[in-house]
Every structure is written in structure tokens, then in C-alpha cells.
Amino acid sequence: MPHEDCIFCKIINGDIPSAKVYEDEDVYAFLDISQVTKGHTLIIPKTHVKNIYETPNDIAGKLFERVPVIANAIKKAFNPKGMNLINNNESFADQSVFHLHIHLIPRYDETDGYKLRWETHSDEYTQEQLQDISKSISNHLD
Ligand code: AMP
Ligand code: ZN
């Protein structure tokens, strides 16, 4: 069911124009209007799901299965030096459209418009602490 007021559902339905890259019965891919770098593409499931937390396995499978196809098409089109896949979940993590989407951002050089750097904290954890953390997570796998 399309979600009322969801711009990505409206894009899928054709109510809002988009630069379509790919479409099949399960997914839709189109250019991100911000074009962080040339060819910046979003791939979304046709079923409205808010973000990764609310995504059933079958929808996730169909979505991620198509990611390499789109990535390779961008690679062939523009010959980038690399590609970043980004998926933001919840406002705090910069999600601004609440319909699940994966960003495919081809990378050309240091000044291509993409900036994401993170710190390493590997020297702050012992093996035991890492084991505790991994157990805290794996205890909650359904
Ligand atoms: P996020 O911040 O991860 O939720 O990403 C949402 C993305 O949707 C942003 O990068 C926007 O540029 C993009 N976006 C919003 N509206 C449109 C639109 N009408 N067509 C294409 N991309 C859009
Ligand atoms: Zn939607």
C-alpha cells in the first residue's frame, strides 16, 4: 500500500517526476535530486517500509539483490574510482525521507562532493569487551 504523503511512493506511482534508472515489479531506482556526485542513485522497494528496522526479509532480499546490478550500470556509465553505499535510518542518522532507500554514490576524486569520515577506536577495546558486545547483539537475533 502506498503511504499517504510519502514522496517516494508518489515517485513510484508517477505522481512526482523522477529520472528513472531501473524498475521491476519489486524495486524502483532513480537519480537522487541532490546528485552528491554524478550518477548518485537511490534504490527503493515498491512496498512502503519506513526504514531498515521495519523491513521484512523478502523485501530486503529483493532490494539488495538489485543493488549490484545498479552499481555496475553506474560503473559502466561513468567509470568512477569507487562507490559508497549509504543507508540512513531515523532522523538522528540523517534519514530525511521515511521510505527505505539505499544511496549509491559513485566516487571520482577527493573533491567530488562526498564527505564521510569516521574515527577508529580499536585500541580502546579488549578482545573480552568485543566478545561482550557481540553477545549483546547476537542475543537479540530473532
Ligand atoms: P536520506 O537523507 O538518506 O533520507 O535521503 C533522502 C534523499 O532523497 C536525499 O538525498 C534527497 O536529495 C532525495 N530526494 C528527496 N526528494 C527527492 C525527489 N523528489 N527526487 C529525487 N530525490 C529526492
Ligand atoms: Zn513510501
Q: How far is the CA of 135 from the centre of ligand 1 (A)?
A: 36
- Write the residue with the smallest CA distance to atom 13 of ligand 1: 32
Q: How far is the CA of 127 from the centre of ligand 2 (A)?
A: 42
- pLDDT score of 1: 66
Q: What is the pLDDT of residues 51-87, one digit of tens each?
A: 999 999 999 999 999 999 999 999 999 999 999 999 9
- pLDDT score of 39: 98
The one catalytic residue among 101, 103, 121, 140: 101
Please give the mean pLDDT across all residues of the chain.
97
pTM: 0.96
The residues lining ligand 1, judged by C-beta closer than 6 Å to any ligand atom, are 7, 16, 18, 32-34, 88, 94-97
Q: How far is the CA of 124 from the centre of ligand 1 (A)?
A: 36
Is 101 catalytic? The answer is yes
Handedness of CA 58, 59, 62, 66 (dihedral sign): negative
Which residues of the chain are modeled with pLDDT < 50?
A: none
Question: Which H, E and C letters describe 37-58, residue by residue?
Answer: CCCCEEEEECCCCCCHHHCCHH
Ligand 1 atom at minimum distance from 31 CA: 21
- pLDDT score of 142: 81
CA 56: distance to chain centroid?
16
